[in-house]
Homo-oligomer: A and B are copies of this chain.
């Protein structure tokens, strides 16, 4: 049913070599031959087999994308932009949702190797696959340290954390608490926490951080928030390292009769389009997601094309404070 290059050649009355040349626009071909071949391809509804091409060229133009889950709006948007940019540059994207599980990440990495991807973009939060680039394949990480030689791209987490914390202080909050992912992850996102701690210390305040073990399970948010309210009932400012956690906190606070922003002011992190639509009143630190995607893809492609030197190992793109009502003046 599917036709191949020989079918086209036969129908056009030429050799497969010639068909290949027409497809790839290589060498000299008479217009007449070119037309014959084009017609034959159309007639047979011929699609060149990229697998066979890739086998020969040792280039698949395939890139693997590993994220925790596209369910999370940050990664949903990131995946969109990455795929979009890849496509515009002639690359295709194999999607992997690792759910931050190490075994899954490992088996995805193996799968990507078997499929001969030219490179991998890792937007997942776990550690563990430090042997990624030992296999000499191009790798770029999003907000995540993988090894000394793998470039990291992310938002300017330290500035983001600073902006968030200082805003809460300037709004008069006395007891500002921070919620973040597990510190063991060693992601650059812990810089958000560092900034919070530094700013708090700078103001002679005590920094208190609650760790959400698995930010992708909402049940986990609630457990931590429960504990937070038990232990710090007088909290009046919250900086969450992620908008969904901020939203969970707001809902739980309201259940406890707290008014936002009167009783507690809240700042999130990410500032996705989705969050801007669904929860526009949330004050947040917006990451430049499209720019992160673009930077990561361009870096990866440089690696793929053999530029291993002079690649910036850490790129932190500018964040933006979006002020909404959750830190607002009283209604």
Contact = CB atoms under 8 A, between A and B. Distances in A.
A49 B110 CA distance: 11
Residue in A60, A75, A95 whose Cβ sees the most chain B Cβ within 10 Å: A95
A170 to B, nearest CB: 26
Interface residues of A, number: 54
Given A55-B55, A71-B80, A94-B93, A274 B277 contact: no
A108 to B, nearest CB: 8
A83 interface: yes
A248 interface: yes
A269 to B, nearest CB: 14
Q: Is the interface of A mostly helix, strand, loop or mixed?
A: helix
A70 interface: yes
25 contacts: A45-B135, A49-B114, A49-B116, A51-B51, A51-B116, A52-B55, A70-B77, A70-B79, A71-B76, A71-B80, A72-B274, A73-B274, A75-B76, A76-B79, A83-B96, A93-B94, A218-B277, A243-B278, A244-B277, A244-B278, A247-B278, A247-B280, A248-B277, A251-B277, A279-B279
Interface of A: 1, 45, 47-52, 54-55, 60, 65, 69-73, 75-77, 79-80, 83-84, 87, 92-97, 108, 110-111, 113-116, 135-136, 218, 243-244, 247-248, 251, 272-275, 277-280
